[in-house]
Amino acid sequence: MGVTPQQRTGKIGMALVGLAASCAVWTFILYIPYALYMSSFSYANGDEPGEFSEGLFICLVVGSQIGLFVVSSMGAKYAAFHSEDETQKAYTMYYNAALILNLILDLALQTYLSYLQMVGVGAHTSDGRLLGSLDSFQEILESYPVQKSMGKLLFVYCWPCTFFVPFLAEPFAVQWLPQHLAQYIVGANKKIKGENAEKAFELGEMEQGRYAEP
């Protein structure tokens, strides 16, 4: 059934609302509990999270990207464009915008947690003042310890969370795992033969639009 330009505009708007809502839901359901867990440490006298928290952060970032990938794809298809090129273009724009919004939310949360950590251990600014003694938001944000922490967090977000782990896992999740599951299912069920067996072994399509991440 045809979709008028006015209807498509409404669908695009609904897709954007869905993306924003997904980022908000992801933040409140997963990142807020993570923030509460991280803030439960005093960050003084060795009372700080270990490697488990770093691994958990990587899982959260990768999981959020997978979720945004699915929501962006659904939104692009919901807009009902006439051609696959238009659908992929819209998907890439949705996914890129969602990643930027998600990055801002992640960095804001992690920077706040790092600030609490540095205040707990008595970090000083470049001119010798205690970080905890700074009153204005601009002074805190522009202080060397916070800037250094934000740079480190951005690097961790990019590597390995964004530029390595998803691309490393994609061939296994899309190709290797389905092939082995199909081999097990077809081998265990003798009723699956002929065309049905061939369909079970079909390779999954690598999603090219997901490469909007870099």
At residue 104, what is the residue type?
Answer: I
pLDDT at 206 over 60: yes
Residue pair 210/69 in contact (Cβ under 8 Å)? The answer is: yes
pLDDT at 72 over 80: yes
* CA dist., res. 193 & res. 122, Å (int): 68
How high is the mean pLDDT of the chain? Answer: 83
The pLDDT of 204-212, averaged and rounded, is: 62
Please write down the long-range contacts of 23-28, taking CB distance under 8 Å and 24 or more positions apart: 23/68, 23/98, 23/101, 23/102, 23/105, 26/64, 26/67, 26/102, 27/105, 27/109
What pLDDT is attached to residue 47? 65
* CA dist., res. 8 & res. 94, Å (int): 15
What pLDDT is attached to residue 67? 85
The CB density around residue 184, as the number of other CB atoms within 10 Å, is 10
Please enumerate in sequence order all residues whose Cβ is within 8 A of that of 76, keeping only pairs 6 or more positions apart, or say none: 15, 87, 88, 90, 91, 94
What pLDDT is attached to residue 162? 83
What pLDDT is attached to residue 178? 87
Q: Is 193 exposed, middle or buried (0-12, 13-18, 19+ CB in 10 A)?
A: exposed
* % the chain with pLDDT above 90: 10
Where is pLDDT greater, at 50 or 56? 56
What pLDDT is attached to residue 42? 63
Please name which of 153, 121, 123 lies closest in space to residue 54, comparing C-alpha atoms. 153
Which has the minimum average pLDDT: 38-42, 97-101, 105-109, 143-147? Answer: 38-42
